[in-house]
């Protein structure tokens, strides 16, 4: 059964997103691309108060800014909208631990636009451009786009043994970005020839970041050919991991 929605996941264990610029830029890129619009409903909570509070704001970026400014220690925001098509967003931002210099958890932003809107090479190319514009080695550890229900099935199959960890890189997806902390999991001498076998790849900022695309059409990832390519690339990436 084809997926009804995509997941655009962005995640980090090492970047300051709670008070940094990245969430605003991601939301702006996503809105400009038509991935999301104004919200019909929003809720927020924190680690210490998990009961959601309903928010009256319809602008996700403005609501997120208000939640971050409240300085409650963490931010958990959920939003649902119907323009330009039905979408949802789930944002979890943690503070950086002053002792370790790392995020006290994993900050994650999940965007879910309808899959049908982005199927086909022309629409997928526009989504690639947005993905490329949103992420850089200075603000993203990991990001991916893939048909959501299909990715959940992959995690019971080809991705059952995660390449890095379950909330982040489990295996190859239609689009992926690996920042410095994720690239550190790989032997770069082995990773470079593997990346070159992907449909499209791009090293950025002096090899501090890597974009990988498995095909020209996100909607084709659930075909037999698409699944075979995802499985092939996943195992090739596994072979490029650093030895434990």
Instruction: Taking the CA atoms of 17, 124, 145 and 194 in sequence, report the sign of the dihedral they define.
Output: negative
In angstroms, rounded to a whole number, what is the distance separating the alpha carbons of residues 135 and 177? 7
pTM: 0.95
Distances (CA, A) of 167 to 43, 45, 135, 239: 22, 20, 18, 21
Are residues 91 and 42 in contact, defined by beta-carbon separation less than 8 angstroms?
no
Going residue by residue through the chain (244 aa), what tens digit of pLDDT does each one get? 588 999 999 999 988 898 889 999 999 999 999 999 999 999 998 766 667 889 988 999 999 999 888 877 789 999 999 999 999 999 999 888 777 777 778 999 999 999 999 999 999 999 999 999 999 999 999 999 999 999 999 988 888 889 998 889 999 999 999 999 999 999 999 999 999 999 999 999 989 999 999 999 999 999 999 999 999 999 999 999 997 6
To the nearest 10°, the Cα dihedral for 216, 221, 224, 225? 30
Measure CA of the first residue to CA of the last residue in the chain; give whole Å: 37
């Amino acid at each position: 059964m084809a997926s009804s929605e995509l997941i655009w996941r962005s995640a980090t264990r090492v970047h300051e997103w709670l008070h940094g610029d990245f969430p605003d830029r991601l939301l702006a890129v996503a809105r400009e691309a038509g991935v999301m619009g104004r919200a019909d409903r929003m809720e927020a909570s924190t680690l210490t108060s998990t009961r959601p509070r309903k928010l009256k704001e319809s602008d996700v970026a403005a609501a997120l800014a208000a939640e971050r400014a409240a300085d409650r220690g963490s931010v958990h925001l959920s939003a649902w909208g119907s323009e330009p098509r039905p979408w949802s967003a789930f944002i979890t931002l943690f503070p950086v631990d002053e002792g370790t210099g790392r995020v006290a958890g994993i900050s994650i932003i999940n965007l879910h636009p309808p899959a049908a809107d982005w199927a086909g090479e022309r629409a997928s190319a526009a989504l690639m451009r947005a993905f490329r514009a949103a992420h850089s080695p200075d603000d993203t550890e990991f990001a991916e786009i893939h048909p959501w229900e299909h990715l959940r099935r992959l995690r019971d199959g080809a991705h059952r043994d995660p390449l890095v960890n379950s909330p982040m890189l489990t295996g190859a997806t239609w689009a992926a970005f690996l920042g410095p902390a994720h690239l550190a999991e790989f032997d770069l001498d082995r990773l470079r020839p593997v990346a070159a076998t992907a449909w499209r790849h791009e090293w950025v900022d002096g090899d501090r970041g890597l974009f990988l695309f498995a095909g020209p059409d996100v909607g084709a990832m659930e075909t037999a050919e698409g699944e075979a390519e995802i499985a092939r690339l996943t195992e090739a990436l596994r072979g490029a991991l650093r030895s434990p």
